[in-house]
Chain A
Amino acid sequence: MKYIDGFRDPAAASAFRAKLEEHGKELSDAGRSVCILEVCGSHTMAIARFGIRSLLPDCVDLVSGPGCPVCVTPPGYIDAAIELAGRGVIIATFGDMLNVPGSDSSLAEARADGARIEVCYSPLRAVELALENPDSEVVFLAIGFETTIAPVISIVKQAAASYAANVSLLTAFKLVPPALDALLTDPDLAIDAFLCPAHVSAIIGSNAYEPVVKEYGKTCIVAGFEPLDIMMGIDRIVELAAAGKVACENQYSRVVTPEGNPIALQLMNDLLEPEDAYWRGVGVIPASGLKLKHAYAPYDAQVKFGISVEPGKEHPGCLCGSVIKGSHKPDQCSFFGKACTPDAPVGPCMVSAEGTCAAYYKYLRTT
């Protein structure tokens, strides 16, 4: 456990807090503040769990971003999955999709009504399900960011190797760098720096954020998920802001390389091509998604079953869309903690273990 406990040492955290106070004072003495967006849902959860927000100087605002794959998936995607389940298809999915509200229903409700929804830890379980059920079709709900994409599309390789023709993917893959572009051009937002994701960056490499620094002049710091990683990353952002500098730096060098994971990137490049993608809360972002290339159409559930994924219908009054892009905090939503709880979620941010509302509900709720 050395590689976990060592990154949670309270005395080192206290040292970082002192550094943060010092750099925060320099920043506020210069009459400035800094708005940091933590891109990734796992950072959001760790920041809430370890109480990091309470350690920040007043001049540092930390907002949560769109890095929860379940949260940015539109309700119309759930509708498409429910429709497939209604046609007798076995739906294989990561567990956090079950309670996400679609336009009218959820996969959990569809399962209660008799649909066959199988929760998988590894995507390759979908291939096993296909082999175990040769007379049925199996569709894996292929959502996720760069971290998850290569494991999920390994289904295609595995299915081809095991001659499983009855498995396909309902893809809604999303890419992080185009989302950062979209957030920086959003007039509702004024982001000064990004705390960049740990494991997405393990795949795409820290160089992927260079354009954000060069084109927009915003700092990007890649940080790990442990509390000291996060505090060190935030401290570095504040230190740079106080000095009036911007930079792209990798503080998670024990896992992230400048170029990323070449095997995963090659697999993604071989099987997938870019597409415009709809993000809940943000809208369509050009070239921010990936879909299977035409050569792999037999594994594309939208082609195979002739269905399309529409944006769908969101619950009126739910602020998930604004929470996802960081323009509102969860407790600014009138549903938060009242009509919307983890047991009875109205929006996806309350469902996912990486959702901002779920993080606030679990760790930061005051009422």
Chain B
Amino acid sequence: MLIDSVEADGTASVSMAGVTHRVNVSLVADPKPGEYVIIHAGFAIEKLNVEEAEARLGLFSELAEIKRGAERT
């Protein structure tokens, strides 16, 4: 989920697809608005590494493109 705002009490407002939740962020280091976090039982348990996510998505779309290309020919 995307962090929208971080409060002084160790909680943050996070959202996904327009749905907002308040979660505890005491288990992740230095959470900031604009970062993505994995939520479990009302806690952020880890941040999403956007670079790694983008690299993997790039690989998947490359594979998908090769597959679509092979189906067209």
Task: Write the residues of chain A forming the contact surface with B, with a CB cutoff of 8 angstroms.
Answer: 1-3, 6-7, 9, 11-12, 14-16, 18, 94, 121-125, 144, 147-148, 150-152, 154, 199, 202-203, 228, 253-256, 261-264, 267
Contact = CB atoms under 8 A, between A and B. Distances in A.
Contact of B24 (A124, A203, A256, A267): A124
A82 to B, nearest CB: 23
A181 B70 CA distance: 44
B8 interface: no
A199 B41 contact: no
Given A122-B41, A151-B42, A199-B45, A15 B27 contact: no
A326 B4 CA distance: 42
Contacts of B45: 147, 150-151, 199, 202-203, 261, 264
Chain B's interface: helix, strand, loop or mixed, by majority?
mixed
A243 to B, nearest CB: 20
Given A11-B64, A151-B45, A202-B46, 11 more contacts: A6-B57, A9-B61, A11-B67, A12-B67, A122-B23, A125-B42, A203-B46, A253-B52, A255-B38, A263-B28, A267-B27
A263 B44 CA distance: 12
Interface in B48-73: 48-50, 52-53, 56-57, 60-61, 63-68
A7 B63 CA distance: 12
Contacts of A267: 27
Chain A's interface: helix, strand, loop or mixed, by majority?
helix
Contact of A123 (B29, B42, B65): B42
B38 to A, nearest CB: 6
Given A94-B41, A124-B24, A203-B45, A15 B61 contact: no
A199 B38 contact: yes
B20 interface: no
Q: What are the 8 A-B residue pairs with the smallest beta carbon separation, nearest first?
A: A122-B42, A11-B64, A15-B63, A254-B53, A254-B52, A151-B43, A12-B64, A12-B60
Nearest to A122: B42
